[in-house]
Structures are given as structure tokens and as C-alpha cells.
Structure 1
């Protein structure tokens, strides 16, 4: 395993502080303590201060999340399942819920932290899914008069039970059986709605 650089160490410590304390309450002193470096070292790495450190920490943080990937298996149900599984892996990654809470709290100051967090965001997959749904409709393998709506429906069917209850403090099971049930239900609903 590669040795962690001083900057990576700072960013990892900073993100822990931002997740635990929130952006406004996070202090450079606590980041220095959490990172195990001197306060002066923080300013050497981030002369512009907390805001530039926060944005760099967010960028580094997203690198650790599973990427939302795409695979067209050639079969409608299998492709929907692949996409639903990718969404599940993304939203159940460690620290996702604390991150979302923090990102929503600072969204006016830092737009784009939830919707498009760099290349790891969900927009590329959403676009690919929408184009695939249009293609399936043209090929008469699915009946999808509104591909954008169908795309949002699949994301909603997976995201709603896995993310939003946890976001507002309702604890639901997050084990493999529950995740599989979410995917199975989402795929079954999409097939009932749109399969030929």
C-alpha cells in the first residue's frame, strides 16, 4: 500500500472534522489535531484557508466512493438490475449519509456537492440510462414514452428506502438481504411499468 502523503493525511483528517462538526463549526485547530500536523502546516498546504481545504477534501472524499458504472448486458431486466445494483453500492458507501447531511447544510454556499460531486457523481449514469431507455423504446423492447421520468423512477425506487429514512434519522436495515430486496423491487416495478 502506498504511503499517505502529508496532503492526503490533512484532507482525510479535515473531512472527518467536517463530517463530525459541520462546515461552520469546523476549526483549523481541530483539523490540525485530527490530521496530526501543526496548524502552520495546514496553511502551508492551503494558504486560502478553510474553504479551499474543504473543497479539496470533498474532491478527495469522492474518490473513495464506488463509481456509478454502466453496463448494457443486452437483456432489459439484467441491465436494469446492473444499474440498480450500482446505485445501491453508491448510496450505501460508508459516510454517505453524514456527507449528504453536511452537503445539504452548505449547499447554498457550495452548490453542486450533492448533484454533481466531480466525475464520481450520478449525472453521467443518469444520462446513459436515459439514452438506453430511449434506445429500448425505439427497438420496441420496452414501452417508455418518457425516458427522463423512467430514469428518475428507477433512481427513486432505489434511493428512497436506502437514503432518505437514514438522512432524517429513521434506522432501516442496511444488510445484504435488504439491499437485494430493494433492487428486486425496483427492477420488478420497472418491468411491470415498461417491459413489452
Structure 2
């Protein structure tokens, strides 16, 4: 990477970091781009060149949280339904428990009545990717005969909802709520067991042992 490109990326990262701090602390509406520029120690011209609107800057924050550390949605091959669901569920749990994710959701919830695009953005760039990927995987298992005929969108929504209901929503509402790694693993495993009990084909090989 050349020097100029490295400087550009460092400034962009500083802008996103400053905006994240201000949006989470003071809210989306009360945070101006000029203030973000001052906090990031860049010129307003530099900020507007990279992020021409506040919505574009918020989008960068959402993308950062939902793809943190290069994590992407896993698309396993069909054949081992239990192992694949554990893998997908574990990835979803890891993202939901990323430091700062609850602050992102609190900001979206607080501001979405005035700026509904923020809620849509967080859903489209976040959960929708997991939901669509899981639906695609479940369809492949249906074709392989390991999943009974069903509305895969419903099954996928139920699966992700069971995980978020145990590990994320209490964290969002209760400031001192903490789950250990083993408790998080158990929450994912129970979601897997429930989906398999409801939708796995009787002929599917779904061993319960880890």
C-alpha cells in the first residue's frame, strides 16, 4: 500500500471512530459533521470528500460492526445440518456480542422514529445478510432431503430469533447482563436442537455429541 493510500485510510478510520463515539454518546441528530471533523482532527473538506452525508457516515459504522475483523457470513455445504447450524449460529452470536453492538442498536432505536433509514440500514447491512444466507443454506438441505418441506424464511427467522432473544436483547435492556462463553454456546446449541427437532428430516444424520 502506498503512502497516500495509507494516509487516506487512516483518516477515514479516524473519522469513523470519532463519529461512532459522538453518535453513541450524543445521538445521531445532535451530532454534526463539522463536530465529527473536529473530533477526528481532519478538515471538513476531507470528511465531506469521503462521507458526503451523515447517513453515509452512519452506514460506514454499521458496516464496521457487522463485518468486524473481516468476519463474514458462513455458507457451509449441505450434508451435516447440526454442524452447519452450530457454525452459523456461533458466527451470529459472535457478531451480536461484539463490543459496541448494543450501543449501535440503542442509537438506532432512539433515532429511528425521526430517521427511519437508520433502522432499515442496520437491518439491510446486518441481519438481512445472515437471514438470506441461512435461508439459502436451508434450501440446499431441503434439496438434499435432510430438511422437511417448510417455509425456510420462517425457520431461519425462528433460529436467529432464539439466539438473539437469549444473548442480545437482555444485554440491550439490562446494563449489567452478562453471559459467559459457555452460556452463549449453550444458547446456540439449544437453538440448533430446537430447529432440528422441528424441521430435520427423520432420515437426517444429526448427531448430538460435540
Scaled by the length of structure 2, the TM-score of the pair is 0.76
Alignment CA distance shift 1:92-1:28 (3 Å):
same
Local SS of the residue matching 1:80: helix
Report the Cα distance in structure 1 between the residues aligned to 2:77 and 2:167, rounded to whole angstroms: 24
Matched, 1:185 2:190: yes
Segment of structure 1 superposing worse, 179-188 or 54-63 = 54-63
Report the equivalent of 1:91. 96
Report the equivalent of 1:8. 13
Aligned with residue 42 of structure 1, among 36, 41, 44: 44
Matched, 1:161 2:166: yes
- The number of residues matched between the two structures is 189
Report the Cα distance in structure 2 between the residues aligned to 1:122 and 1:53, rounded to whole angstroms: 22
- Tell me by how many angstroms 1:44 deviates: 4.6
Q: Relative CO higher for 1 or 2, CA cutoff 8 Å, sep ≥ 6?
A: 2
Report the equivalent of 1:116. 124
Contact 2:79–2:144 (CA under 8 A) maintained in structure 1: no
* Ranges in structure 2 where 5+ consecutive residues have no aligned partner: 203-210
Aligned with residue 106 of structure 1, among 106, 111, 117: 111
Contact 1:154–1:190 (CA under 8 A) maintained in structure 2: yes
Report the equivalent of 2:144. 139
Scaled by the length of structure 1, the TM-score of the pair is 0.81
Contact 1:81–1:183 (CA under 8 A) maintained in structure 2: yes
Report the equivalent of 1:148. 153
Alignment CA distance shift 1:127-1:57 (3 Å):
closer
Local SS of the residue matching 1:94: coil
Report the Cα distance in structure 2 between the residues aligned to 1:7 and 1:158, rounded to whole angstroms: 33
* Ranges in structure 1 where 5+ consecutive residues have no aligned partner: none
Report the Cα distance in structure 2 between the residues aligned to 1:170 and 1:36, rounded to whole angstroms: 32
Let me know the Cα RMSD of the aligned residues.
Answer: 2.8
Render the CA deviation track for 1:104-128: whole Å, top value 9, x for unaligned: 22334242222112xxx23233223
Report the equivalent of 1:172. 177
Higher relative helix content: 2
- Tell me by how many angstroms 1:163 deviates: 1.5
